Amino acid sequence: MMIIAPTPRLVRHAVARLRAPVSASVSVSAPALTISGRAFFSSASSFSDIPTVTLAYDLHEPAKPVADAKTSPIIFMHGLFGSKKNNRTMSKVLARDLGRHIYALDLRNHGDSPHDQRHDYLAMAADVAEFIRQHGLKEPTLIGHSMGAKTALALALQDPSLITNLVAVDNAPIDAPLTSDFPRYIQGMKAIDAANVTRQAEADKILAPYESSFTIRQFLLGSLYRPDPKNDQTLKYRLPLGVLGGALGYLGDFPFRNPSERRFVKPALFVRGTKSLYVPDEVIPAIGEFFPRFEMVDVDSGHWVISEKPEAFREAVVNFLEPKE
């Protein structure tokens, strides 16, 4: 979950400059654009070139399913420093309302999923693509928040045949550099690991100088666990802090630059928090170029859309995914 939004100046820099229109129908009147960024990614990369990890997941089953667990399921993805636990309540609600099975994933280097030295959007998208194939899922919907949203967007552009539609929550297909808060969070979490605390209250006290918001601290403390509870009560982070700290420079990036090369022409819903800066109006042209059949719903919230306004989020998703007459 990306907690601190980039500034409008950084977003304007990320969107770079506009070019001539491309010959494609889009939901907004938008010229094509070039998005600046690192050379770390290549739009020619193939998922077959990326070693994947086997993702941990929770399966939430509806009381009255409209299909079996492999047909039209929903795949729910968390954000940076999060886990499948973050989306447990909403997954149960959506399973009930839509009658669809929901797979809540732990992305690589998070929760119960394996750790790997590579942590970028193509690698995370490759993991999810392999998850879909391994489980034999047919026409799934992707829902992702923040880091999970960019993972969903990357998968949709890299292998659109695998999914039927998607919901991106408070993120967009642009480069928007992260702020210096994230290295500070990594510092604070490393300080907790080094202190060998046994109670969450002790960990919170260590983290307080690094983050003043109690809500954000509680989120960051959510990945603590006891590796050896029978013999030792020490709390440690499940997260590979060194790997994630080294990946921060890439997590603001988006792996695809040119919408004339890759486009997802199936339905896509973008849900943005009106008090968040992650999806300002100036990035709407980029969304329209990559995702010409997109819809957008504004929610009166900050970046934490799902937890801040769960009913508004639920309503937006249900309206988007319910069968249309």
Q: pLDDT at position 324, please?
A: 74
The catalytically annotated residue of 83, 91, 113, 146 is 146
Q: Among residues 124, 42, 118, 36, which one has the least CA distance to residue 79? A: 124
Q: Is the pLDDT of residue 57 over 60?
A: yes
> Does domain 8-176+259-321 fall into CATH 3.40.50.1820?
yes
Which has more confidence, 189 or 176? Answer: 189
Mean pLDDT of 102-128: 97
Sequence ranges of the domains in the chain: 8-176+259-321, 181-247
Q: CB of 243 within 8 A of CB of 285?
A: no
Q: Which of 101, 119, 145, 303 is catalytic?
A: 303
Q: Which pTM value belongs to this model?
A: 0.86
Average pLDDT rounded to a whole number, residues 274-290: 93
3-state secondary structure of 246: helix
- Six-digit token pair at 140? 């799934």
How many CB atoms neighbour CB 241 within 10 A?
A: 20
Mean pLDDT, the chain, integer? 86
Residue 8 has pLDDT above 70, yes or no: no
Let me know if 60 is a catalytic residue.
no
Please provide the DSSP assignment of 159-223 as one string.
-GGG-SEEEEES--SS-----THHHHHHHHHHHHHHHT-SSHHHHHHHHTTT---HHHHHHHGGG
**Two structure tokens written together for 297:** 């719903």
Select from 254, 282, 256 the least CA-distant residue to 18: 282
**Are 311 and 97 within 8 A, CB to CB?**
no
Burial class (CB in 10 A: 0-12, 13-18, 19+), 296: middle
Active site residue 78: no
- Residue 2, pLDDT above cutoff 70: no
